Structure 1
Amino acid sequence: MSAIELASGIGASPRPSGVRRPRLRALGSTALGLGTIVPLAVLAIALAWAVAPGLFTSASPTESVGAALQAPSIEHWFGTDSTGRDLFARVVYGASQSITAALLAVGVGLVFGLLIGVVAGAVGGLVDEALMRVVDVLLAIPTLLLSLSVVILLGFGTANAAIAVGVTSVAVFARLSRSQVVGVRASEYVEAAYGSGGTFFGVLRRHILPNSLTPVIALAALQLGSAILQISTLGFLGYGAPPPTPEWGLLIAEGRNYVATAWWITTLPGLVVVAIVLATNRLSRAIGARSATGGS
């Protein structure tokens, strides 16, 4: 056996490639599955709060339930705020505002960004150049500045804040979807589909889109956490839901004057936001890793 054969692995025992690699792949898939259990559980709890908050607390989110500034206890898990309202109830009911707004923001960015990216990548030419220059302009504007500009034009409120945040993510979705479509469009099986008589829209629907959307879905999961942060930021600055509506950014803002004496008013809602954002990021990484390995 020559040195070249030894270096290339020709003639070696098939056991390492035939047995150990599938075992390692299976172990990686198992680890990936275990690594998504906690993030999925966190997101499931948050969604349950948004859908049925009454199942998790009997306290009113807008009415006083006792003395002001009570520390966390068995009776009030997150303590009470400066007016005696149960903070845990406000966090639970705030999930409906924040998560619904974040889903709306991701939907706006996904729909319009995907439309721009698919059209640019599939058509090409001058259409691609024109659309990508618009995307470049959007990417050049700082995210917070763009969202503030849009929400000021539309008016204050959770829905308008969600639309504003969605506008800031259009360019990101457009860039990614365009790059995926261009890559898939240049593949051999797409050329073969055209060569066998496939129409533009038929090939786009059957071959290009199904093989381009997985990274975009992973980005949507990542953007959900980013949208929660941005909407909370707008709420903190006073551009979101008006008081006394329970909204996570507003809850954090209400406790900023009591950080030294009642740390829980700001800290506990903030930790909830951090946990949910980390869960969405971990889920996005899991989807991206799975797409990178071909779903094995």
Structure 2
Amino acid sequence: MTALATTAGLAGDTAPGRPGPGAPAPDRRLRWRSLVSRVGFVLPALVILVALLWALFPGLFTAQNPTETVAPALQAPSAEHWFGTDATGRDLYARVVYGASQSIIGALVAVLVGLVVGTAIGLAAGALGGVIDEVLMRVVDVLLAIPALLLSLSVVILLGFGTTSAAVAVGVTSIAVFARLARSRVVSVRVTDFVEAAYGSGGTFFGVLWRHILPNSLTPVIALAALQFGSAILQISTLGFLGYGAPPPTPEWGLLIAEGRNYVATDWWLTVLPGLIVVFVVLATNRLSQALRGGDAA
């Protein structure tokens, strides 16, 4: 009996649902996961906030003029010039801060263009169906078949060089992605019980579309907008690197990387530091997008 009781007691100690002798308590694990989740959300949010403040109020973060020579050329990063100076003696940190207005605001314009136009196309296709759906989706398929960089370059050449043209071009490349997602959500929401009940209670087509279908279809679209924001920064920086964005000496992140590419072997900070800023901002937007999609619940 004693052996059986001991065996039963040992089996009970390791029964499913109970922690082993050396395992941490479940509530401790939950608190740790919650802390990691909060830190993983707060840090990217702070990065995005700083980038937005750079874009809106650059004078609060640096007193240097981004287009004037303030020191000898190609000085390494120091306490006086945090990011060093470029080939003409301009403060690189000031140029990065002021360049945020070109890259960040341009990316916001690009996302707004893709979000508004793409959602409108997806909403019309999913709600109306039939021939309209087929025609709109074939147009979307054509846009998806064209590489994004090639399409953006074509639009920039048509509109002319500059940050605004680059932002519109990048926004055009994202229209198809927003349209497909919006259409799929509208099609799934359109057949739900509460939409049928809204029609049965006397709701008009446009009234139900505006009050019920559209609001219940926007959550994944907004999450996609956060993800596309990072992609737009990369594409606008790419266009600036190729010379299709803001003209010199206007600071822009892609242009700053392009200006320093000839000095990579000797003056690494000219390309590495602006490149790291782009990487941090893009990774932060991707993390926030995962949070909006409910990635923290996994």
Provide TM-score, normalisation by structure 1.
0.88
2:214 to 206, 209, 213: 209
Q: What is the total number of aligned residue pairs between the two structures?
A: 276
Q: Residues 24 and 72 (structure 1 numbering): CA distance in 2 closer, same or farther, change over 3 Å?
A: closer
In structure 2, C-alpha distance between the alignment counterparts of 1:261 and 1:207, rounded to whole Å: 60
Alignment partner, residue 23 of structure 2: none
Alignment of 1:155-194 (within 5 A): 155-194=160-199
Q: Unaligned stretches of 5+ in structure 2?
A: 1-16, 19-25
Q: Residue type matched to 1:253 in 2?
A: A
SS at match of 1:211: helix
CA shift, 1:59, in A, is 0.8
CA shift, 1:31, in A, is 4.9
Deviations 1:228-270 (A, max 9, x none): 0000000000000110000000000000000001000000000
Alignment partner, residue 84 of structure 1: 89
Indicate the percent of aligned positions where both proteins have the same amino acid: 73
Q: Residues 26 and 121 (structure 1 numbering): CA distance in 2 closer, same or farther, change over 3 Å?
A: farther
Alignment partner, residue 73 of structure 1: 78
Q: Is the 8 A contact 1:215 1:291 kept in 2?
A: no
Deviations 1:45-90 (A, max 9, x none): 0011111111111111000111111001101100000000000000
In structure 1, C-alpha distance between the alignment counterparts of 2:27 and 2:192, rounded to whole Å: 27
Q: Is the 8 A contact 2:67 2:249 kept in 1?
A: yes
SS at match of 2:157: helix
Alignment partner, residue 10 of structure 1: none
Provide TM-score, normalisation by structure 2.
0.88
Alignment of 1:1-296 (within 5 A): 31-289=36-294
Q: Residue type matched to 2:60 in 1?
A: L
Q: Please provide the CA RMSD for this pair.
A: 2.3
Q: Is the 8 A contact 2:162 2:245 kept in 1?
A: yes
Q: Residue type matched to 1:33 in 2?
A: R
SS at match of 1:63: coil
Deviations 1:96-138 (A, max 9, x none): 1111110000011011001000000111111111000000000
Alignment partner, residue 7 of structure 2: none
In structure 1, C-alpha distance between the alignment counterparts of 2:286 and 2:80, rounded to whole Å: 33
In structure 2, C-alpha distance between the alignment counterparts of 1:209 and 1:245, rounded to whole Å: 40
Q: Residues 195 and 62 (structure 1 numbering): CA distance in 2 closer, same or farther, change over 3 Å?
A: same
CA shift, 1:34, in A, is 3.2
In structure 2, C-alpha distance between the alignment counterparts of 1:26 and 1:111, rounded to whole Å: 40
Q: Which has the larger radius of gyration?
A: 2
Q: Residue type matched to 1:121 in 2?
A: G
Q: Unaligned stretches of 5+ in structure 1?
A: 1-14
Q: Is the 8 A contact 2:290 2:296 kept in 1?
A: no
In structure 2, C-alpha distance between the alignment counterparts of 1:187 and 1:23, rounded to whole Å: 40
Q: Residues 37 and 209 (structure 1 numbering): CA distance in 2 closer, same or farther, change over 3 Å?
A: same
Q: Is the 8 A contact 1:114 1:177 kept in 2?
A: yes
In structure 1, C-alpha distance between the alignment counterparts of 2:127 and 2:36, rounded to whole Å: 37
Alignment partner, residue 3 of structure 1: none
